[in-house]
Amino acid sequence: MKKIVVLISGQGTNLQAIMDACKAGKINAQVAAVISNKADAYGLIRAKNSGIPTAVFERKNYADNSQMDRAISDYIDGIAADLIVLAGYMKILTVGFTRHFAGKILNIHPSLLPKYPGLNTYQKAIEAGDSEHGTTVHFVNEKMDGGAVILQAKVPIFPDDRIEDVEERVKIQELQIYPLVVKWFVDGRLKEAGGKAYLDGQLLAENGYAAE
């Protein structure tokens, strides 16, 4: 059975969805560990309640970001993880880390990439007058939110929406598509090569998989 390591910084709702999918047998893998850069992240409690090992790596305990990421990398190597899942991990990974695990790191970002990388995506979409927003699951590379797109989900933005309204719609979609993409990877259907994403041997479009 393949091993997944999940990196979090906060509530861990996507973590919970992935743990639930593994427990139900929908994903043929186990969450082998949950790592956080925040000691008070609620996702750590979720993991402990499920009997999953946890580890905390705080920036203040390391000389620089590279040293911290090397420590995390060594921990993950010790587990022999097959996949690293970023689920609300609010720290930019170093180049050394992303290169070491190239093709094995997934992230979910609350926008329709390449639109709105970085923070405050809901506010940006509303302020721009967009009629839709969404979320993107992508491979992680050296560029922030710049890896190959795998799958996107769109939600509408209505004229009287607040940020919280759009965020709630996006979160519902995230909890559906992230476990699905993890399953694709675990089942050997999803791969990254040459900076591109492939599903069942077919090159995915720039905006990821889209059902006919």
For the annotated catalytic residues, the residue numbers are 109
Which are the contacts of 141, defined by CB distance < 8 A and separation ≥ 6? 98, 102, 147, 148, 195
87 within 8 A of 12, measured Cβ to Cβ: yes
User: Which residues sit opposite 48 in a β-bridge?
Assistant: none
Which are the contacts of 3, defined by CB distance < 8 A and separation ≥ 6? 29, 30, 32, 79, 80, 81, 82, 83
